[in-house]
């Protein structure tokens, strides 16, 4: 994995929230504190490996906070940080944008736009 640190903040956010899982995990975490096994139940198709990797990434990005409690069975809780909470409406805005532009996209095939000079 290349830690290509770009000068562009948008590129950097994208490195974190890109992919299938981040938005889903944020979605479930905004419902409140979740444990590892909760998140696996919320999203049955993620593997435990992926879940740990993604959570670690979100943690490093300051979106998610991980709290480990002593004792056995080991208990770990995940929450959105204040920064993570502020991210939520931005993702929602993307979702709304997608819905709002659905009309232009709904009918699959390309319309014959022949722009001739």
Partner DNA sequence: TCGTGGTTACAAAAAGGTGCGTAATTTACT
Partner DNA sequence: AGTAAATTACGCACCTTTTTGTAACCACGA
Which range, of 2-10, 29-37, 47-55, touches a copy of itself by CB under 8 A? 2-10
Please check whether residue 78 is in contact with residue 39, taking contact to mean a CB–CB distance below 8 angstroms. yes
Footprint on residues 49-108 left by a copy of itself (CB under 8 A): 59-62, 65, 67-71, 81, 83, 86-87, 90-101, 104-106
55-to-74, 97, 115 alpha-carbon distances in Å: 17, 26, 47
> Which of DNA, a copy of itself, none lies near 111, with the C-beta cut-off 5 to 8 A by kind?
none
Nearer to DNA, 14 or 83 (CB): 14
Q: Which of 30, 12, 3, 7 is nearest to 91 (CA)?
A: 30
What Rg do the C-alpha atoms of the chain give, in angstroms? 18
Task: Please answer whether residues 17 and 11 qualify as being in contact, where contact means their C-beta atoms are separated by less than 8 angstroms.
Answer: no
Residue 47 near a copy of itself by CB under 8 A: no
Question: Which residues are near a copy of itself by CB under 8 A?
Answer: 8-15, 17-20, 22-24, 27, 59-62, 65, 67-71, 81, 83, 86-87, 90-101, 104-106, 110, 113-117
């Amino acid at each position: 994995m290349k830690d290509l640190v770009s000068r562009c903040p948008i590129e950097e956010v994208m490195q974190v929230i890109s992919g299938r899982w981040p938005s889903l995990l944020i979605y479930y975490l905004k419902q409140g504190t979740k444990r590892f096994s909760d998140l696996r139940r919320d999203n049955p198709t993620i593997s435990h490996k992926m879940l740990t990797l993604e959570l670690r990434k979100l943690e490093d990005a300051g979106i998610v906070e991980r709290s480990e409690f002593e004792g056995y069975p080991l208990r770990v809780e995940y929450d959105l940080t204040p920064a993570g909470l502020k991210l939520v409406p931005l993702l929602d805005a993307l979702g709304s944008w997608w819905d709002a532009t659905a009309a232009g996209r709904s009918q699959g095939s390309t319309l014959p736009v022949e722009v001739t000079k």
